[in-house]
């Protein structure tokens, strides 16, 4: 018996996790491509994107513990859109310096470029 993994069978949390895994795999490929390209702007953009995804994972878990009443009114719609909200917050946060992870990744990628 095979499992049917269509999008219709996945819950909101499952969809977010599937999207997150896919985004992480894409970012890993982008990091490798940026390291090979020797383009400093591409390296910085990729490092910031990676930091944003890391922060999104971290904050996503943090937001799950927050009650969904109040500003947005709660309910299924808020639960559905919360991941997108967290993603946008973390993109902005990473672009403004974040926690310094992008700086470290950028330095490492530039070092790898010099070695190649």
- Tens of pLDDT along the chain (116 residues)? 444 444 444 444 444 545 555 665 676 777 677 667 677 888 888 888 889 999 999 888 888 777 766 665 667 777 778 888 888 999 898 889 889 999 998 898 888 777 76
Q: Which residue has the tokens 């937001």?
A: 63
Pick the closest to residue 82 from 97, 96, 71 (CA basis).
71
Question: pLDDT at position 111, please?
Answer: 86
- Cβ(102)–Cβ(48) below 8 Å: yes
This prediction has a pTM of: 0.61
Query: Sign of the CA dihedral 31, 36, 42, 47?
Result: positive
Question: pLDDT at position 99, please?
Answer: 92
Q: At what angle do helices 12-37 and 40-64 cross, to 10 degrees?
A: 160
């Amino acid at each position: 018996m095979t499992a049917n993994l269509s999008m219709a069978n996945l819950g909101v949390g499952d969809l977010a996790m599937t999207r997150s895994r896919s985004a992480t795999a894409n970012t890993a490929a982008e990091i490798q491509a940026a390291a090979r390209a020797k383009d400093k702007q591409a390296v910085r953009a990729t490092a910031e994107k990676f930091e944003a995804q890391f922060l999104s994972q971290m904050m996503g878990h943090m937001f799950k513990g927050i009650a969904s009443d109040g500003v947005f009114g709660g309910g299924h719609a808020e639960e559905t859109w919360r991941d997108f909200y967290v993603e946008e917050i973390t993109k902005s946060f990473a672009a403004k310096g974040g926690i310094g992870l992008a700086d470290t990744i950028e330095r490492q990628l530039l070092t790898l470029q010099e070695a190649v």
